[in-house]
Every structure is written in structure tokens, then in C-alpha cells.
Amino acid sequence: MKLSNIINDLRCLANYLESYESLINLPNCNNCGIVKQCKYKPKWGERVRINCPLWKTENKEEKE
């Protein structure tokens, strides 16, 4: 295997890692403030929406 191929593979892996890290930092159903009243409330085991337009920050006053 050539060194240039290894370097290209490492660059590709670094790009995948960067994409993954940006994806996991997007808001989703697990940290949504309106998950109980949401029109799209996933059932247990279903996929959550990532970067959903319905996403809201959690309201601390409602929690108390």
C-alpha cells in the first residue's frame, strides 16, 4: 500500500468524523422542550428527528 493512499484514507476518515460530530450536536427529539405536545412524537424505538423545524428549547418554568 502506498503512503499517498494511506494519507487519503486518513483524510476521508477525518471528514467522516467531522460530519458525525456535527450531526450529533444538532437538536433532536431527545432534547426538545415540547416533546410531550409535539405533533411528531416518536414512539419507543422509532427514529428521532434531527434538526427538526418544530424543535423548541426546554422551558424551565413548565418543569417546576
Query: What integer pLDDT is reported at residue 59 of this predicted model?
Result: 66
Which residues sit opposite 51 in a β-bridge?
A: none
Examine the pLDDT at 61 and tell me if it is beyond 60.
no
Cα four-point dihedral sign 40, 43, 44, 46: negative
What 3-state class would DSSP assign to 44?
Answer: coil
pLDDT tens, residue by residue, 8-58: 999 999 999 999 999 888 888 888 888 788 888 888 888 888 888 888 887
Query: What integer pLDDT is reported at residue 39 of this predicted model?
Result: 85
Which residues sit opposite 50 in a β-bridge?
A: 28
Per-residue cell: 39: 405533533
Query: What integer pLDDT is reported at residue 30 of this predicted model?
Result: 85
Spell out a b/e string for 21-40, using b for 16 or more CB atoms within 10 Å of the CB, else e. eeeeeeebbeebbbbeebee
